[in-house]
Copies of this chain bind each other. A is one copy, B any other.
């Protein structure tokens, strides 16, 4: 039987509150706010379990370790800040992307990633600059 441990709660909660896909490392740091003695192995174990239960989906980013976000969201894409390395969720999709494939190719899905600087990391006209954790 599955137990409700404070570690799992902390991980689930951290992911909810982040509002963006988190890597295992980010998840470790975030969840330690509630359970300071949390170990990395537990984070990986919990992620694995949540993915298998379809509560979490991996978000693959080019050249980066996978992030994880809640399953069941509407189709959308992501933005990776090259400065703070955080991945953000974007709304919607321009559509018609699959039509890029030539005839004979069967497209099942697509993934779009924007790269740049997030609002917090932009150099000059940065209003409301927050602390940038990574």
Q: List residues of A whose CB falls within 8 A of some B CB.
A: 60-63, 66, 77, 79, 82, 88, 90-94, 96-119, 122, 127
Contact = CB atoms under 8 A, between A and B. Distances in A.
24 contacts: A60-B62, A61-B62, A62-B113, A79-B101, A90-B101, A90-B102, A92-B100, A93-B100, A94-B96, A94-B97, A97-B114, A101-B116, A102-B119, A105-B118, A105-B119, A107-B116, A108-B115, A108-B116, A109-B114, A109-B116, A110-B112, A110-B115, A111-B112, A112-B113
Q: Name which of A88, A96, A115, A122 has the most chain B CB atoms within 10 A of its CB.
A: A115
Task: Tell me how many chains of this kind the complex includes.
Answer: 2
Contacts of A127: 104
Contact of A90 (B66, B100, B103): B100
Contact of A104 (B61, B110, B112, B119): B119
**Secondary structure dominating the interface of A:** mixed
Top 8 A-B residue pairs of the complex, sorted by shortest distance between their CB atoms:
A60-B62, A104-B119, A60-B63, A108-B116, A107-B116, A106-B117, A90-B100, A110-B114
A97 B114 CA distance: 8
